[in-house]
């Protein structure tokens, strides 16, 4: 036995305490330790029952994800689970914190389960591109029935102890020290003469309409295969004897382990945690954050204020006029009403947030005590500089001065103050109280503790914060501009916007770029095209057909017409028949003979444009690591999580293939398709983007 399991004896009960911080993942050593400890308990004279408990903050968080992709070492988890269940001793699991994946599977192999009221259980393997692989799909439905098991496995959600008790996953919920309540339960069971109760020997769950369930889950997964695969595993639990069902589960699990989706999902899991872990911030203390100011209560300002209020911060919001103040307050209240309706906050909390925690004013002096200000006024350098000048005059020393600008130069904004070290970009995404991404834009003179404060605000608001450098559009919008352009080029050359949207939804995006443009408002792109027209490179290809629609006052969803036509009260739109004519006219003017694009061509060009620009963003140090780009696209731009992000996608496809495609496209448009130096370098050296992530972690 090793030091991962502490073995103690309490009369006729042997206690096996798992000690593998931080979350008792089932590493090889833990599996070996548990197996040995079961042997010891069975050989220990007088022992009649075994109690399994976890040390620290969780029972067991699951299999050790860091071991995935490496050759598996015995004892394998399914074998260990069977071994625990088959023990002649009475086995009890006492659970606290989380019991997830393999952790719950170990508990399901015990004969009785007791948990703390605060405990949560779940089988979240689908979030890693997998299904439960140690009997979870076979044992859970025997306790809960097929429907509840499928819901729990395909959603991967954490189920609270009370609900788990009702579902039959737990036998008892008792508050107290997990070991003490577990021991009491085990002793009570022994005193009652309770029998071993292996779940595998319980009757199988009755059949449901498996094919209909499979189809529904597949559709909901938007291209993700693991949830639908889980349905087949639960079906096996219902139709096959236990041992055969277990084998079927194992086969499906092993197949998924070999997929790109599993690689992508696990990359996302670790990157999500690594993204805010910046070496430059080690030992740097963030400044205190209790009250924040927000300048401008439009779409973004109201969203940012809502997020801050929900996180328990005091918010002082400044608008230009009394009517704008009232409108801003109305927007924030509307957002908070949403939280109230969804049961996220109580009426009492709603009242407190809107009356005590929120101050709205036209007077900048109201900002004198705040710890950080986020400016969210119009996207105009002169307006921003004027605001920062005012902030410099009223804000206390040490107050962080942040701009939510989408594209403007944060270094230039900082020149409007006498304290550029306190100035930073905090780029939220719309709707700011919903979207998870926050770009923390570090300007030349930004002080390290101001950067740390940006990250601590992101954490307090529950955001995924990504460090970005200053450039036009920072990480996300800069890359977006490039792949959007690739889509525009494909339209000029013969693909329809509708085919492009469909192909990209097929790839896994929540929406295609043209549907997104309709949602955001076509006027934004129209204004940007006008603004940039003066400095345009002669070889740059920019379609103008959509400007004609804008000239007629059609700006997408908000006006009912854009690339798509929208009917009131209906979700989504239908392709606008005007678009084909407008495109054909422009093609004729440009002398372009339209050609066919397959869905695969479309995805390939779109992704190559994205990866190429992303490689430039990393090469220039705007993003420090490829994983920063991946998390930006995942949390801000609806990139399918199961690909892990564009850089991970490129690694999976092969960087040499991506570069070869780019070089091929460059034959027709060398100006747009200039390969990123970093991409060329990595291909020449036979390295991947993930190698750069690993080097940065050292
Ligand atoms: N394996 C290895 N490391 C793990 C892990 C796991 N299963 N779960 C968490 N960790 C690590 C994290 O990477 C992190 O490491 P770091 O400190 O070096 O960054 C550390 O533990 C703490 O994790 P969090 O920062 O996420 O801590 P939280 O308290 O926010 O969350 C948690 C804890 C809810 C357990 C969350 O980490 C989580 O959801 N973990 C994944 C759980 C999971 O997916 N389990 C299923 C695994 S697959 C499986 O069991 C297959 C089986 O069916 C055969
Ligand atoms: P908006 O037009 O909805 O709101 C701007 C608000 O600022 C208006 O209510 C206006 O009255 C107020 N305002 C203007 N000047 C002011 C001043 N001097 N003092 C106080 N208030 C003033 O604009 P939106 O969309 O909220 O954008 C704000 C900023 O956020 C812009 O810089 C924009 O680029 C950026 N942004 C916008 C996103 C979006 O999707 N809308 C996403 C991310 C960033």
Q: Whose CA is nearest to atom 28 of ligand 1?
A: 23
How far apart (Å, rounded) are the C-alpha atoms in residues 285 and 456? 10
Query: For the segment 627-659, what is each residue's pLDDT rounded down to a tens digit?
Result: 999 999 999 999 999 999 999 999 999 999 999
| DSSP secondary structure code for residue 76 in this structure | P
State the distance from the centre of ligand 2 to the C-alpha of 410, rounded, in angstroms. 16
Give, using CA atoms, the residue closest to atom 20 of ligand 2.
Answer: 319
User: Can you tell me whether residue 636 is helix, strand or coil?
Assistant: helix
User: Minimum-distance ligand to the CA of 266?
Assistant: 1
Ligand 2 atom with the smallest distance to the CA of 297 is 9
Query: Which residue in the list 55, 85, 125, 179 is annotated as catalytic?
Result: 125
Q: If you measure from the C-alpha of residue 658 to the centroid of ligand 1, how many angstroms do you get, rounded to a whole number? A: 32
Spatial distance between the Cα atoms of 227 and 448, rounded to a whole number of angstroms: 43
Core vs surface per residue 78-90: b (16+ CB within 10 A) or e:
bebbbebbebebb
Per-residue pLDDT, 572: 85
Clarify whether 105 is annotated catalytic: yes
The DSSP call for residue 480 is H
Q: Return the DSSP state at 152.
A: H
DSSP secondary structure code for residue 641 in this structure: G
Question: pLDDT tens digits, residue range 167-197?
Answer: 999 999 999 999 999 999 999 999 999 999 9
Mutate which of 319, 325, 326, 378 for ligand 2 pocket (most atoms within 8 A of beta carbon): 378
611 pLDDT band, cuts 50/70/90, is: very high
| pLDDT higher than 80, residue 696 | yes
Whole-number Å distance between alpha carbons of 136 and 62: 12
Task: Give the CA diameter of the chain.
Answer: 92
Half-sphere exposure of 312 (CA within 13 A, CB side): 5
Cis peptide before 22 (omega within 30 of 0): yes
- Ligand 1 atom nearest the C-alpha of 105 is 53
Per-residue pLDDT band for 534 (boundaries 50, 70, 90) equals: confident
Q: Taking 80 as the threshold, does the pLDDT of residue 440 lie above it? A: yes
- Give pLDDT, residue 504: 97
Contacts 24+ apart (CB under 8 A), 39-42: 40/1, 40/7, 40/14, 41/7, 41/14, 41/16, 41/87, 41/89, 42/87, 42/88, 42/89
pTM above 0.85, yes or no: yes
Give yes or no: 333 in active site: no
Q: Give the whole-angstrom CA distance, residue 660 versus residue 668.
A: 14
CA of 295 to the centre of ligand 2 (A): 8
Atom of ligand 1 nearest to the CA of 61: 35
Q: How confident is the model at residue 535 (pLDDT cuts 50, 70, 90)?
A: confident
Q: Residues with Cβ within 6 A of ligand 1?
A: 22-23, 25, 58, 61-66, 77, 98, 100-102, 105, 124-125, 128, 132-134, 136, 273
SS3 447: coil
- What pLDDT does residue 319 have? 98
Query: Which residue is associated with the tokens 């006008």?
Result: 530
The alpha carbon of residue 465 and the mean position of all alpha carbons in its chain are separated, in whole angstroms, by: 11
* Mean pLDDT on 215-235: 95
Which distant-in-sequence residues (6+ apart) come within 8 Å of 595 by Cβ?
493, 494
162: its two tokens: 């009370």
- Nearest-10 Cα torsion for 241, 247, 252, 257: 150
Contact of 333 with 410, CB cutoff 8 Å: no
pLDDT tens for 7-25 read: 999 999 999 999 999 999 9
Task: For 33-91, write each residue's pLDDT tens digit.
Answer: 999 999 999 999 999 999 999 999 999 999 999 998 888 899 999 999 999 999 999 99
DSSP 8-state symbol, 126? G
What's the 621 CA to ligand 2 centre distance in angstroms? 28
pLDDT at 527: 86
Strands 314-318 and 291-295, sheet pairing = parallel
Give buried/exposed letters for 574-596 (b at 16+ CB in 10 A, else e).
Answer: ebbebbeebbeebbeeeeeeeee
- Name the residue with the closest Cα to ligand 2, atom 4: 298
Q: What span, in angstroms and rounded, lies between the C-alpha atoms of 428 and 209?
A: 44
Strand stretches in 163-271, DSSP E: 172-173
Taking the CA of residue 407 as reference, the ligand 2 atom at the shortest distance is 34
Ligand 2 midpoint to CA 387 (Å):
12
The answer to whether 637 and 252 are in contact (CB under 8 A) is: no
| Residue of 298, 438, 302 whose CA lies nearest to 380 | 298
Q: Which of 301, 427, 475 to mutate to test the pocket of ligand 2 (most atoms within 8 A of CB)?
A: 301
Q: Pick from 22, 23, 108, 134 the residue to mutate for probing ligand 1's pocket: most ligand atoms within 8 Å of its CB.
A: 23
pLDDT digits (tens, 9 = 90+) for 349-360: 999 999 999 999
Q: Which atom of ligand 1 is nearest to the CA of 131?
A: 53
For residue 528, what pLDDT is reported? 83
Residue 667: CB atoms within 10 Å: 8
> How far, in Å, from the CA of 429 to the mean position of ligand 2?
12
Separation between Cα atoms, residue 560 and residue 569, nearest integer Å: 11
- The residue whose CA is least distant from atom 54 of ligand 1 is 133
- Ligand in nearest proximity to the CA of 276: 1
Q: Which ligand is nearest to the CA of 406?
A: 2
* The one catalytic residue among 55, 105, 249, 319: 105
d(CA 576, CA 157): 39
Expressed in angstroms and rounded, the spacing between residue 397 Cα and the centre of ligand 1 is 40
Q: Which residue's alpha carbon is nearest to atom 31 within ligand 2?
A: 379
- Distance of CA 513 from the midpoint of ligand 2 (Å): 23
Q: Which ligand neighbours the alpha carbon of 480 most closely?
A: 2
Closest CA to 161 of 110, 102, 120: 120
Count CB neighbours of 116 within 10 A.
19
Alpha-helical (H) ranges within 68-135 are 77-85, 102-109
Which ligand 1 atom sits nearest the alpha carbon of residue 273? Answer: 19
Q: Are 425 and 470 in contact (CB under 8 A)?
A: yes
- Report which bound ligand comes closest to the CA of 58: 1
Contact 253, 130 (CB under 8 A): yes
Q: Which residues pair with 60 in a beta bridge?
A: 99
Q: How far apart are CA 279 and CA 281, in angstroms?
A: 5
What tokens appear for 404 in the block?
């939510």
Listing DSSP states for 543-562 in one string gives --HHHHHHHTT--BGGGTBS
Residue 125 has pLDDT above 80, yes or no: yes
pLDDT for 569 equals: 78
pLDDT at 450 over 80: yes
Question: In this structure, are residues 84 and 166 in contact, taking their beta carbons and an 8 Å threshold?
Answer: no
């Amino acid at each position: 036995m090793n030091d991962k399991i502490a073995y103690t004896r309490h009369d006729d009960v042997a206690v096996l305490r798992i000690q593998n911080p931080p979350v008792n993942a089932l590493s090889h050593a833990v599996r070996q330790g548990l197996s040995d400890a079961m042997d010891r308990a069975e050989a220990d004279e007088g022992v009649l029952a075994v109690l399994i408990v976890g040390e620290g903050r969780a029972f067991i968080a699951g299999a050790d994800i860091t071991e995935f992709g490496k050759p598996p070492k015995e004892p394998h988890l399914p074998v260990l689970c069977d071994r625990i269940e088959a023990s002649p001793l009475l086995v009890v699991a006492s659970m606290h914190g989380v019991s997830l994946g393999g952790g719950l599977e170990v508990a399901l192999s015990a004969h009785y389960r007791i948990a703390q009221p605060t405990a949560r259980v779940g089988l979240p393997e689908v979030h890693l591109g997998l299904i439960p692989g140690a009997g979870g799909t076979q044992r859970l439905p025997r306790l809960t029935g097929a429907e509840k098991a499928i819901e729990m496995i395909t959603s991967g959600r954490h189920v609270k102890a009370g609900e788990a008790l009702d579902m039959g996953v737990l036998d008892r919920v008792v508050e107290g020290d997990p070991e003490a309540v577990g021991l009491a339960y085990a002793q009570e069971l022994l005193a009652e003469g309770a029998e071993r109760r292996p779940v595998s020997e319980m009757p199988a769950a009755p059949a449901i309409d498996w094919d209909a369930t499979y189809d529904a889950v597949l559709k909901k997964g938007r291209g993700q295969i693991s949830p639908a695969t889980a349905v087949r595993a639960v079906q096996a639990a219902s139709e096959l004897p236990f041992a055969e069902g277990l084998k079927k589960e194992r086969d499906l699990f092993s197949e998924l382990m070999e997929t790109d989706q599993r690689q992508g999902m696990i990359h996302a899991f670790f990157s999500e945690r690594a993204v805010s872990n910046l070496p430059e911030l080690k030992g740097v203390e963030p400044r205190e954050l209790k009250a924040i100011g927000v300048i401008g209560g439009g779409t973004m300002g109201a969203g940012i204020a809502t997020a801050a209020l929900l996180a328990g911060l005091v918010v002082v919001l400044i608008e230009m006029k009394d009517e704008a103040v009232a409108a801003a307050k109305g927007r924030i209240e509307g957002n908070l009403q949403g939280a109230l309706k969804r049961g996220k906050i109580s009426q009492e909390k709603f009242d407190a947030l809107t009356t005590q925690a929120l101050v709205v004013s036209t007077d900048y002096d109201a900002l004198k005590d705040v710890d950080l200000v986020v400016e969210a006024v119009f996207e105009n350098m002169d307006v921003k500089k004027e605001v920062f000048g005012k902030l410099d005059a009223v804000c206390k020393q040490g107050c962080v001065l942040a701009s939510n600008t989408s594209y403007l130069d944060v270094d230039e904004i900082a020149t409007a103050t006498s304290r550029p070290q306190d100035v930073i970009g905090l780029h939220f995404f719309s709707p700011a109280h919903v979207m998870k991404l926050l770009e923390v834009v570090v300007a030349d003179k930004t002080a390290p503790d101001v950067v740390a404060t940006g990250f601590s605000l992101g954490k307090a608001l529950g955001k995924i914060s990504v460090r970005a450098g200053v450039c036009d559009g920072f990480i996300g919008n800069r890359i977006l501009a490039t792949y959007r352009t690739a889509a525009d080029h494909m339209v000029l050359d013969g693909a329809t916007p509708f085919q492009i949207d469909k192909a990209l939804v097929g790839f896994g995006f929540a929406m295609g770029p043209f549907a997104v443009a309709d949602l955001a408002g076509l006027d934004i792109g129209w204004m940007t095209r006008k603004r940039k027209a003066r400095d345009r490179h002669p070889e740059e290809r920019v379609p103008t057909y959509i400007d004609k629609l804008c000239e007629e006052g059609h700006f997408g969803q908000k006006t009912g017409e854009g690339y798509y036509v929208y009917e009131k009260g209906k979700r989504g739109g239908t392709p606008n028949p005007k678009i084909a004519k407008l495109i054909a006219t422009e093609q004729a003017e440009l002398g372009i003979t339209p050609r066919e694009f397959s869905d695969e061509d479309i995805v390939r060009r779109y992704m190559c444009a994205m990866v190429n620009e992303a490689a430039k963003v990393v090469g220039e140090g705007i993003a420090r690591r490829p994983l920063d780009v991946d998390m930006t696209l995942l949390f801000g731009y609806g990139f399918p999580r199961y690909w892990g992000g564009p850089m991970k996608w490129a690694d999976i496809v092969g960087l040499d293939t991506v570069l070869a495609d780019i070089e091929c496209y460059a034959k027709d448009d060398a100006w747009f398709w200039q390969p990123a130096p970093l991409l060329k370098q990595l291909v020449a050296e036979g390295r991947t983007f993930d190698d750069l992530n690993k080097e940065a972690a050292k």
